[in-house]
Amino acid sequence: MRYIVFVFTLFFSFTLYAQSDSGHCDSLREQGKYLSAFECYQRADPNNENPDIVLKKVELALKYNVKTVRNHLFAFVDLRDDEDLQSLKQVLKNDSFTFFEFKADSVLLQLQRRFPHDYRIVKALGDFYYDTYTEMGDRWFIPAKELLKKFFRYYKAAYEHRVYDAMSLYGIAFYYSVFENYKEAEKWYDRSRELDPFNPLVAYGAGVTQLMSKHPRDGIVPMKIAYDFFTDSLKKSDAARVLGIMYYKTGKEEKAYEMFSIADSLSPLYHPNQMFLLRSQLQLGKREPALELAKVIFDQAPIDPDVPDELLEMFRMEGEGKLLATLFKTLLKEYQYNPEANGNIRFHYGKLLYLEGHHRKAVRMFKKAREQFEMVLPPEHHVFKMLDDMIKQIQRQ
């Protein structure tokens, strides 16, 4: 009996010690002392036997590492008062740190076998596989599609036992949206937003789902929240562009133009933003800004045939073939000493002339394009056959 009491007392004392030490570790984490906090948790539970402490290690590893190698090796820092973790991630190199090996998936799976009814562990497995999926995709040990299935399965099992948070519900919604089950995704986004209505990632997912479900009007409110609360300029730009699409689809062309302009300013020279803004300018009759932007777009890749091809399609769709001809004339002067770019312009200028009904001018333009390309491209290049075929086709008409 004494032995039993002694063992119980020893176990109880050890548990109190671990809890006390864990509280100190929590304090370090709250102060941004992430390296000290992880070392503290390691001392409190070196063999990963205490679910409460392991779950804190997993959260710290996934959310507060400064560098990771395949989510099995983690580096941490103790932040100074003027330092920001996200900024340090961008500038510090891997050789600046000591990495800790912490295979959270293996640790959690072992712990789950010991505590099969602790669904916090199940949810943490979902967190690990979701983080790995979003951060590494196919660059991990198993394909991204398997990671997708894993985090969905664990999140769903945890939810069925009433263990969840806004992000685990978001993960379930995201899974359904990947497989285009937008009706089901909408339900889970709504549940997630009930818990965290101003989470920009959740709001963005909810908004995109409404857009893909052909309900752009219903997506405006959540997408506006995403735009307002994203702090990263790329994400904010993306939300602005999608919000512009929603406004356009609901007949609010001026608001659409405003959001496309903001998206372009947040992510300068990002092609998708530029193309949406350009189309909006053409539709609203902003011809001079459209010409300026189209030139900027072409200048980014003057020898890429896809760029003038996109411009050709867009300008003609908006009934602005003559305006595009003006652009091509300007570009021919600017790129007169760049044969490949000049040939690229003439090739598409010829297509424009042909589509606009100026067949003789089109032939002359194609022949000049051929002359330019002959200066820089090998004779077997496919562009020569394309030009010759088009010239023959026009001459037969």
pLDDT the model gives residue 7: 36
* Mean local confidence (pLDDT), 40-61: 96
Q: pLDDT (tens digit, 9 = 90+) per residue, 207-241?
A: 999 999 999 999 999 999 999 999 999 999 999 99
> Which of these, 239, 247, 237, 201, lies nearest to 223 by C-alpha position?
239
User: Which residues, in sequence order, are bridge partners of residue 78?
Assistant: 33
* pLDDT exceeds 70 at position 278: yes
> Does residue 88 carry a pLDDT above 90?
no
Tens-digit pLDDT profile for residues 326-345: 999 999 999 999 999 999 99
In this predicted structure, which of 18-22, 188-192, 307-311, 367-371 has the lowest mean pLDDT? Answer: 18-22
Q: What CA–CA distance (Å, rounded) separates 312 from 347?
A: 11
Residue 12 has pLDDT above 80, yes or no: no
Tell whether the model's pLDDT for residue 18 goes beyond 50: no
Between CA 234 and CA 241 the distance in angstroms is 11
Supply φ then ψ for residue 289, to 5 degrees.
Answer: -60, -35
pLDDT > 90? residue 92 = no
Three-class SS state of 68: strand
The pLDDT value recorded for residue 357 is 94
pLDDT at 158: 98
The pLDDT value recorded for residue 89 is 83
Please identify which residue in the block is written with the tokens 């904010």. Answer: 236
H-type helices in 250-320, by residue range? 253-266, 271-283, 287-300, 306-317
- pLDDT, average across residues 1-22: 44
Name residue, tokens 């409190």.
44
Could you tell me if 317 and 330 are in contact, meaning their C-beta atoms sit under 8 angstroms apart? no
Per-residue confidence band for 16, with pLDDT thresholds at 50, 70 and 90 = very low
CA pair distance 337, 346, nearest whole angstrom = 13
**Bridge-partner residues for 33, per DSSP?**
78
Q: Which fold has domain 285-397?
A: 1.25.40
Q: What is the pLDDT of residues 175-193, one digit of tens each?
A: 999 999 999 999 999 999 9
Helix 166-178 with 144-160: angle, nearest 10 deg: 130
Identify the pLDDT of residue 21: 66
What percent of the chain clears pLDDT 70, i.e. is strictly above it? 93
- H helices present in 103-215, as ranges: 104-114, 119-136, 144-160, 166-178, 182-195, 200-212
Residue 396: what pLDDT? 85
CA distance 42 to 59: 14
The rounded distance, in Å, linking the Cα atoms of 293 and 290 is: 5
Q: What pairs with residue 68 in β-bridges?
A: 74
Spatial distance between the Cα atoms of 12 and 395, rounded to a whole number of angstroms: 95
Helix/strand number for the chain, H first, E second: 20, 3
**Nearest Cα to 18, choosing from 40, 33, 3, 35?**
40
Q: What is the mean pLDDT of residues 57-72?
A: 95
User: What contacts 65, CB < 8 A, 6 or more positions away?
Assistant: 34, 74, 75, 76
User: Can you give the pLDDT at residue 332?
Assistant: 97
- Global pTM reads 0.86
CA–CA gap between residue 118 and residue 158 (Å, rounded):
9
Judged against a pLDDT cut of 50, whether residue 4 lies above it is answered with no
Residues 166/199, Cβ–Cβ less than 8 Å: yes
The pLDDT value given to residue 340: 97
- Beta-bridge partner residues of 67: 75
pLDDT at 2: 40
Domain ranges, ordered by start, for the chain: 22-102, 285-397
Which residue has 């100190």 as its token pair? 24
Stretch 153-157: mean pLDDT? 98
Beta bridge partners of 249: none
Q: What pLDDT does residue 9 have? A: 38
For position 22, what pLDDT does the model report?
76
Any idea which residue has 């003559």 for tokens?
Answer: 322
Torsion of CA 118, 123, 124, 125, to 10 degrees: 100
Average pLDDT, the chain: 93
Q: Please report the pLDDT score of residue 304 as a whole number.
A: 97
Kindly calculate the radius of gyration of the chain based on its CA atoms and give it in whole angstroms: 29
Give the per-residue pLDDT at 95.
62
